[in-house]
Chain A
Amino acid sequence: EIVMTQSPATLSVSPGERATLSCRASQSVSSKLAWYQQKPGQAPRLLIYGASTRATGIPARFSGSGSGTEFTLTISSLQSEDFAVYYCQQYNDWPPGDSFGQGTKLEIK
């Protein structure tokens, strides 16, 4: 079973600054890594898949990088609407199993 670990648990950043969120897999998932954003009371929204491909309608300030076991989500200039919880998810496993990280809460500094 692949375990996904996100860090930090909480990240405090000022609007307009850059945020860097990390996700580590316990074994290689190649580039089969997705990122989701979840705001309070809302369903998750797909941001990134294939480690670096933005989903439809996702602003260019969101970027993903990495492969193998180490991944990063970068938000280049934080907007007020970006403060949320972010989850990484591996989809290298099939049949599927536990796939989500525990989340990183991005809060306003």
Chain B
Amino acid sequence: EVQLVESGGGLVQPGGSLRLSCAASGFTYSNYWMSWVRQAPGKGLEWVATIKQDGSEKYYVDSVKGRFTISRDSAKNSLYLQMNGLRDEDTAVYYCARAAWDTSMVFDFWGQGTLVTVSP
């Protein structure tokens, strides 16, 4: 059974940093592109970042470029999102998601999400 379990969310002040983790199991993690998608309270879905299987390609939504870094560790079957310079508008539930196929933005499995709250 495919499982994606996020952790690391919490309350952080504006300008602060946080590192999210996603533990993957039930599939060959190293074979898949992975992404982070977020959802602000009461709002829709927003793609945040995507990383290739070997980490050689990474893509970000414009609003987080230069502040967020996506990474992965295939030995630990884990995905990460380092978030620096956090802003109020980064408050959201952050989901880890698996791409259904290469260079795909179709997400066939999602984690349960971890809440990040940016507030003074």
Q: Which residues of A contact B (CB under 8 A)?
A: 34, 36, 38, 42-46, 49, 55-56, 87, 89, 91, 93-103
Contact = CB atoms under 8 A, between A and B. Distances in A.
A45 B109 CA distance: 7
B7 interface: no
B11 interface: no
The 6 lowest CB-CB distance pairs between A and B, nearest first, are A43-B110, A91-B105, A100-B45, A103-B44, A95-B59, A49-B106
Secondary structure at the A interface, as helix, strand, loop or mixed, is: loop
Interface string B53-83: 0000001011000000000000000000000
Given A44-B45, A89-B106, 13 more contacts: A42-B112, A43-B111, A43-B113, A44-B37, A45-B110, A93-B105, A96-B50, A96-B105, A99-B47, A100-B46, A101-B44, A103-B44, A103-B45
Interface of B: 37, 44-47, 50, 59, 61-62, 95, 100, 103-108, 110-113
Contacts of A97: 47, 61-62
A99 to B, nearest CB: 5
Given A95-B59, A96-B50, A87 B108 contact: no
